[in-house]
Amino acid sequence: MKKQRLIRIMASIVVLLCLATFSGCGHESVSLADNVDSERHDDKIDRKYRSPEAKAILSALQADNQISSKLNLTENTKTEAMIEYLVVSMKDVDVSECPAKFCNAYSEHIAAWQRVLRIVHEYSDDIPTVQEWLKVTALHGTEPRTDLEREVFAAFDDVDSTFEICKSIAAEYDIKRSEFDPKD
């Protein structure tokens, strides 16, 4: 009796496995292209249901990106006026709904730009226009030869590193750079 019962159970399991194999366990077969579309759809859903903090960070980073895209740079644009515009505009970016960690990082980023503004003000006779500024900043990454270059390079390193922190915090909230910087 036990042997017959065991045989029936085994036969049932085999039948179930065969049915599952042929029917795909109730799931349709999916191609790789379907996976890509599904991922895009999932991304849209994820964005729709983001936390308020993530939405606030994304909004702040998009506003920050708009600031630089609105700059109307010509060779004769006054360097100090350009940097001052950046700093003032960045202070107007609404981070009130962002998590404290992002607010602090963005404040540090603004402070880094304020250091750049201080340097530009201090050396306004040496780098009065964007044309001269571009000559100095084009050397960034090379060995600084003058105090001006040393200070400018250090200030730009601060700007870069503080913005990297902002981006890494955004990444913690699953925000992709392409969402706030369309050039990427």
Q: What is the pLDDT of residues 134-149, one digit of tens each?
A: 666 666 666 666 777 7
Q: What is the mean pLDDT of residues 94-98?
A: 97
Does the pLDDT at position 12 exceed 60?
A: no
Task: Share the mean pLDDT of the chain.
Answer: 74
Q: What is the mean pLDDT of residues 80-99?
A: 93
Does the pLDDT at position 84 exceed 70?
A: yes
Sorting pLDDT into bands at 50, 70 and 90, what band is 28?
Answer: very low
DSSP string for 22-70: HHGGG-----HHHHHHHHHHHHHHHHHT--HHHHHHHHHHHHHHHHHHT
The per-residue pLDDT for 49 is 74
User: What distances in angstroms separate CA 132 from CA 45, 90, 129, 162, one per listed residue?
Assistant: 47, 24, 6, 25
CATH code assigned to 51-180:
1.20.120
Candidates 124, 113, 128, 125; CA nearest to 68 is: 113
